[in-house]
């Protein structure tokens, strides 16, 4: 099970990252049909500050590990890589 959190103060930024994560998940399902993913949004500044260095850029957290600050394509590669573990 992959637990994914999308952190950002702005809803449009979270939406963009959610679309990227959803596309990567669909790609991941082709190779790993039983892979489960939980995706949640975090918009509280205090919660974002515990993990991210910036509140402005969206940040992707996968299984509790800070993964990607504002780099969407890298996030897709990271998500697909996490499914192989």
pTM, to two decimals: 0.77
User: What is the CB neighbour count within 10 angstroms for residue 66?
Assistant: 14
Give the phi and the psi of residue 22 in degrees, each rounded to 5. -65, -40
User: What is the C-alpha separation between 75 and 38, in angstroms, rounded?
Assistant: 16
Q: What is the mean pLDDT of the chain?
A: 81
Fold observed for domain 2-83: Glutaredoxin (3.40.30)
> If you write DSSP's letter for every residue of 14-41 in order, what string do you get?
HHHHHHHHHHHHHHHHHH-TT--EEEEE
Per residue in 11-31, pLDDT tens?
Answer: 888 898 899 889 888 988 888
Domain ranges of the chain: 2-83
């Amino acid at each position: 099970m992959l637990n994914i959190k999308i952190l950002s103060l702005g809803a449009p930024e979270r939406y963009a990252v959610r679309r990227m994560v959803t596309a990567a998940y669909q790609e991941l399902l082709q190779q790993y049909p039983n892979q489960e993913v939980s995706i949640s949004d975090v918009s509280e500044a205090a919660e974002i500050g515990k993990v991210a260095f910036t509140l402005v850029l969206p940040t992707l957290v996968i299984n509790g590990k800070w993964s990607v600050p504002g780099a969407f394509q890298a996030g897709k590669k990271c998500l697909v890589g996490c499914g192989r573990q």
